[in-house]
Amino acid sequence: MKELMDRRNFLKFSAVGGATVALDACGKPEHHLIRFIPEEELTPGVAVWKPGVCTQCGAGCGLEVRVMEGEAEVTRQGQVGLIKMGLAKKLEGNPNHPVNQGKLCAWGQAGLQVTYNPDRIRFPLKRSGPRGSGEYQEISWEDATKELASHLASLNSQEKKDSALAFMTRPLRGQRAVLIGRFLSAFSGSRLVNFEFFEEAVLRRANALSFGHYQLPTFDLANANYVVSFGADFLATWNSPVAQNLGYGTMRQGRPGQRAKLVQVESRMSSTGANADEWVYARLGTEGILALGLANVMLSEKLRPAEAAGQAGTLLEGWSKGLSDYAPENVEKMTGVEAAKIRRLAREMAAHSPAVAVIGGAPLAQTNGLSNALAVNALNALVGSVEKTGGVSFTPQPPMAELTPSKAGTSVQELSDGILKGSAPVEALLLYGANPVFASPAAWRVREALEKVPFIASFGSFVDETSILADLILPDHSYLESWIDNVPESGTKQAVASLAPPAMLPLHHTRAMPDVLLDVAQKLGGEAGKALPWKTYEEMLQAAFDPLRNHSGSVSAKSSDDFWSEVQAKGGWWSAEVKSLPVTKTAKLPSGPAKVTEPQFDGSAQEYPFNLLPYASQQFGDGSHANLPWMQEMPDVLSSAMWSTWVEINIQTAERLGIEQGDLLEVASQHGKLQAPALLSPGIAPDVVAIPVGQGHENYGRYASQRGANPIKILAAQTEPETGQLAWAATRVKITRLGKKGKLILFAGGLREWPREFRHR
Amino acid sequence: MIVGGGLGVFVSCSGSKRQPSPLSSYVTSGQFTTAHPSVLSAARDYFDIYPTHVRQPIAFNHQIHLKNGMQCTDCHKGVAQGPDAGIPSDKFCMTCHQVIATDKPEIKKIAAYYKKGEDIPWQPVFWFYQSAHVKFQHAPHIRAGVDCATCHGDMRKRTVAVRKAGLTMGFCVSCHRLHKAPTDCTTCHF
C-alpha cells in the first residue's frame, strides 16, 4: 500500500472513528424482541417434507409441505416475541395422491399466505363496539368457549320445538362435516347451511337423476378422443382442475400420434376455451338445446347403435321419437349455432370414440340449468361414454362409517327468508368460512337477516363481510397447523380419504374448530356430549380411519397404531382398486320427464340488452382468495388485466356503442349497479358482458378491501326451480358510458394485435 | 456523511425497541436502504468491518464444558447435517443445569430466562454481510474433516466465542487452495 491516506482509507477511519460509541448500543440484548423457548428441536437449515391436505377449493388435493426451521413472530402468554420453529416454506402436490399426482394449482401454491397472512385473527375476540363496526377486544380461550357453551346451553333449555341454532359453513367433506352434523344433531331443529357462490347442486342433482349418484362427475380426459365442453372451465376453476389438467395434458401430448379434439361451447372465452381447437358460441342458457341438437343428428343419421341412447335419454321428453323438435335448423334458431356446424360436430363426435361431453359453469346457473345438465348427460349416454374408458364416471367413496353429515342442509336464501319473515328465527348462528354477505345477491338480504340474529360466533381465520357481524370470534388454525382430512368427490377412480397431521405448530393463539366444538360439546354434556364422545379431533379421525385397515389400499398394517401412523405418513388412504362407481339403472324422476326449456332472464331484452355473465376468476374463485397477495399479483390469463374489476365486452359491440378500452362503464341490472372500466375482447359474444367475481370486498383484510366491484350484488335472485340453486348467469343488464376513463391495468399492455378477422367478419 | 452515519445508528438502535432480528443493526432494516439501516452500516459493510468481541447476555464458558468431556456437536447439533451449526435453547442447558452449578451467577441468569419461558438472546459472532452474498455451509466442511478450531479458534483455551479469524475471502480461498477444494465463485457466493 503506497498511500496511507487514499479515499478508501479516509472514509474507513473517519466512519469508524465517528461511530464506535454509537455502535456499542446496538449489541445490547434488551433492545431486541424477546425470544421464546422453542417448542420443537430441528436441525437448522435442513428441510423436511410433510404431508398435507389442500383446502383452497373442494377438489381435495394432497399436499407436501416443505418445513424448515425459521424464526416467527408469535404471541405467547400475551407477549409478542420471536420463536424458532418449523415453518412451512413451500407447498407442492403429493406425488402419490390419486387426485393431483404431485401437481398443485395457483390457489394451492398461494395457500402459504393463508397461514402467514398478516390479517389473520391471532386470538379469540369478543365484540366491544356496535355490530359490524369491527371493534373487538381480546379474550382468553377459556372465556370464549365458556361464553359459546353458555349461549348454546340456553338454546337447548328453552322448551321450543326448534332450538333455532344454525351452522353456516363452506361445503365440507370428510370428518369435519360429520363432526358438525353430529354436533347439530344434539340440538333439535338446528339447521346446517352450506354456502358457496359457485355451488354445484344442479349438476349433482342431474347426475343423481341420470346416473344415480348425487356427485360431481370425473372425466377420463387422458383416454378421450373428442371432448365437447359446455361452459365448463375445467382447466382453471371448475370441479377438480388439477386432475383435469393432468388428464388434458395426456390427452393432447401424452399419446404419440394421437391428439384429441376439444370443442368449447361458451359465450365468453375462458382459459379452457383458449385451449380448445374450436370455440363455439351458443346463446347463454341454450347449451342443453345444442346438446340435444347433436343427439338429434346422431339419432337421425343412425351414427350410434339404437340401444346406445341408454337410460339417461329416457329422462328426456321426445327422446324416444328421435328428438324431432331438435333438428339442426330448429336448434340454430334457438342457440345461434349454424345447422351445418351442428351436423359436423355431431358426426365428428360420433366418429371419434371415446368422446365425452362436459357441462359446468354458466349453463347450469340458469333457470333451465337442470334440463341443460340432463341433456348433456343424455348425450354422454348416447355416445357411450358413461362409465367407460375416456368417458364420464363417478369417484367411489372410502368405506368409512360416516362420510357425510346426517343432516341435510338448507340454503342461505331459506335461512335469510325465515329470519326476515319471522317464520324460522335463528337464535344463534355459528359461522365457518362461508361469506354469504359478500357472495349472495342483494335481493337475498342476508346482511339484514344476520343482523337480526341475537348471537353469532365465527370460527373463521379472517374478518370478512359476514364474520364482521360476529359477537364472538374463535379463530381456527390454518390448514397447515391443524389435523386435516378430506374425501375427494371427483377427480379419480380410486376411493380416497386424505389425511394429514399438523405440518407446523400454530403461529398464533388459535384453536382448531373441531377441537373447540368437541370441548363445547363436553361442556354442554347431555345429547351433545353423547354425540361427540371424543376428546380431540385426532381421536375422532383415528376412529374414523381405522375401519379402512380391513380394506386393500395404499396402507397395509397389522396393528391399529401402525396403520394410523402409516396413514399419516402417506397423507391418506386410497383404495388399491381403480374402479369407478357403478351407474345405477333405477334412477327415480319425481316430476316427470324433463324438458329442455328456454332459459328465463331477469329484465326485459329491450331495456336491458346484455346478458351479464359473472365468472369464477382464476385468481379469486368466488372471492375467498382475494386476500392472498400472490393471487392479487396474478394477472388474468387471457387479458392480463389485474388489481381491479373490469367489464369484458365484445369489440364490435363496443365499437357500435362508441366504447373504448378503459372507458368507465356503469353496469345496471334491475337490482343494482356497479362501475368498472371496459375491457374490449374478441372472445366474448356480442350480447354478453362478463365481469370476474372476487373483487369488491368491503372488509376482507388489507389486500382485498376496497378494490374493484362485486358483480354478485347486482344479480337477480333467480333460481333453478328444482334445486333452488342461484341462477347466477340469468340477469340482464344495461351499460352506460360515464364519459371518463376507469382504472384498467393490463399487465401485458393489452392484446398485441387485434385479430382482424373479428373486426371484419 | 459521517455525522449522518452516527445519527443513523442512534436512530436505528434507540428509536425502535422492537428489532426484527439480532443482526438488524448490521444487516437489514427498512430504515435507510433495503440492505442497510444507516450510512455507517453501509460503510462497515463496504470495509468488511465486523465486531470481534460481541457482548453476550451470558458469558458462556466453552472451556469448562469441553474440559468436562463434552463435544462441540453435543450442543451444536446441526453442524454435520446442515448449513448452520445451531445453538441449543436454554431448555437444553437446563437438562444439566437443573442440578449442576446452580449457584453460579451466569447459570442463575439462564435459569431466570428459562423460568420466564424465554430463550437466551445470543448475539451472532460469526456471520457475513448480506451484500457479500456468501452462503456458508457447515456440513461439507465437517465432512471434509476441517477442524472446528480452524475458523473458530481453539475453544479449549477460550471461554466466550470471539471472532478471531478474519473470515475474509483470502482466508477462505487460501485454505480451499491448500486442500484442493473448489474455488469457483459459486461454491461460496450465490
| A451 and A510 share one domain | yes
Neighbour-count burial of B87, counting CB atoms closer than 10 A to its CB (0-12 exposed, 13-18 middle, 19+ buried): middle
| A628 and A688 share one domain | yes
> Which stretch, A76-80, A358-362, A421-425, B115-119, has highest mean pLDDT?
A358-362
| A498 and A378 share one domain | no
| A135 and A271 share one domain | no
Residue B129 contacts A, CB cutoff 8 Å: no
CB contact under 8 A, A15 and B43: yes
Q: Is residue A32 included in any domain, yes or no?
A: no
CATH code, domain carrying A96: 2.20.25.90
- Looking at the partner chain, which of B47, B51, B78 has a beta carbon nearest the beta carbon of A43? B78
Q: What is the pLDDT of residue A753?
A: 61
Q: What is the pLDDT of residue A543?
A: 94
Q: Indicate the number of domains in chain A.
A: 4
Rounded Cα gap, residues A646 and A275, in angstroms:
23
- Mean pLDDT for all residues in chain A: 89
CB contact under 8 A, A11 and B22: no
Q: Is residue A483 included in any domain, yes or no?
A: yes
| A489 and A416 share one domain | yes
- Confidence check: pLDDT of A662 > 90: yes
pLDDT in tens, A53-72: 999 999 999 999 999 999 88
| A341 and A433 share one domain | no
Q: Is residue A80 included in any domain, yes or no?
A: yes
Grid cell digits, residue A193 = 347451511
CATH code, domain carrying A497: 3.40.50.740
Instruction: Give me the mean pLDDT over the B114-129 stretch.
Output: 88
pLDDT in tens, A432-461: 999 999 999 999 999 999 999 999 999 999
| A90 and A229 share one domain | no
Domain boundary among A471, A500, A528: A528
Grid cell 402409516 in the structure block, residue: A566
- Confidence check: pLDDT of B176 > 70: yes
pLDDT band at B42 (very low <50, low <70, confident <90, very high): confident
Domain hosting A102: range is 48-115
| A360 and A461 share one domain | no
Q: Is residue A605 included in any domain, yes or no?
A: no
Q: What is the pLDDT of residue A406?
A: 64
Instruction: Give me the mean pLDDT over the A333-348 stretch.
Output: 96
Rounded Cα gap, residues A251 and A233, in angstroms:
16
| A275 and A322 share one domain | yes
Residue B14 contacts A, CB cutoff 8 Å: yes
Contact list in A for residue B5 (CB cut-off 8 A) is 15, 18-19
Give which of A26, A42, A69, A76 to mutate to test B binding, by max B Cβ within 10 Å: A26
Q: Is residue A491 included in any domain, yes or no?
A: yes
Domain boundary among A368, A393, A418: A393
pLDDT band at A402 (very low <50, low <70, confident <90, very high): confident
In percent, the amount of chain A with pLDDT more than 70 equals 90
- Confidence check: pLDDT of A220 > 50: yes
**How many other C-beta atoms can be found within 10 angstroms of the C-beta atom of residue A272?**
28
Residue B19 contacts A, CB cutoff 8 Å: yes
Q: What is the pLDDT of residue A44?
A: 85
Q: Where are the alpha helices (DSSP H) in A78-140?
A: 106-109, 112-115
| A323 and A371 share one domain | yes
Contact list in B for residue A46 (CB cut-off 8 A) is 78, 81-82
Instruction: Give me the mean pLDDT over the A676-704 stretch.
Output: 94
CATH code, domain carrying A644: 2.40.40.20
Give which of A14, A43, A46 to mutate to test B binding, by max B Cβ within 10 Å: A43
Which range, of A483-487, A590-594, B101-105, B113-117, averages the lowest pLDDT?
A: A590-594
Which range, of A73-87, A180-194, A408-422, averages the lowest pLDDT?
A: A73-87
Rounded Cα gap, residues A573 and A555, in angstroms:
6
Domain boundary among A528, A546, A581: A528
Q: What is the pLDDT of residue A5?
A: 57
- Mean pLDDT for all residues in chain B: 80
- C-alpha of A26 from chain center: 49
Peptide bond into A354 cis (omega under 30): yes
Residue A356: name the closest of A284, A275, A248, A242 by CA.
A248
Residue A620: name the closest of A679, A675, A695, A689 by CA.
A695
Rounded Cα gap, residues A214 and A196, in angstroms:
17
Q: What is the pLDDT of residue B30?
A: 40
- Confidence check: pLDDT of A16 > 60: no
Q: What is the pLDDT of residue A758?
A: 52
Residue of chain B whose alpha carbon sits nearest to that of A40 = B89
| A661 and A743 share one domain | yes
Q: Is residue A40 included in any domain, yes or no?
A: no
Name which residue leads in pLDDT, A563 or B124. A563
pLDDT band at B28 (very low <50, low <70, confident <90, very high): very low
Which range, of A22-36, A290-304, A570-584, A691-705, averages the lowest pLDDT?
A: A22-36
| A80 and A140 share one domain | no
Question: Nearest-CA distance from A83 to chain B in Å?
Answer: 8
Which range, of A92-101, A106-115, B7-16, B179-188, averages the lowest pLDDT?
A: B7-16
Q: What is the pLDDT of residue A578?
A: 84
- Confidence check: pLDDT of A384 > 50: yes
Give which of A12, A13, A20, A32 to mutate to test B binding, by max B Cβ within 10 Å: A32
Q: What is the pLDDT of residue A149?
A: 93
> b vs e for A56-83, b when ≥16 Cβ sit within 10 Å of the residue's Cβ?
bbbbbbbbbbbbbbebbebbbeeeebbb
Q: What is the ipTM of this complex?
A: 0.74
Instruction: Give me the mean pLDDT over the B84-92 stretch.
Output: 89
* Cα distances (angstroms) measured from residue B88 to each of A749, B75, B122: 53, 6, 10
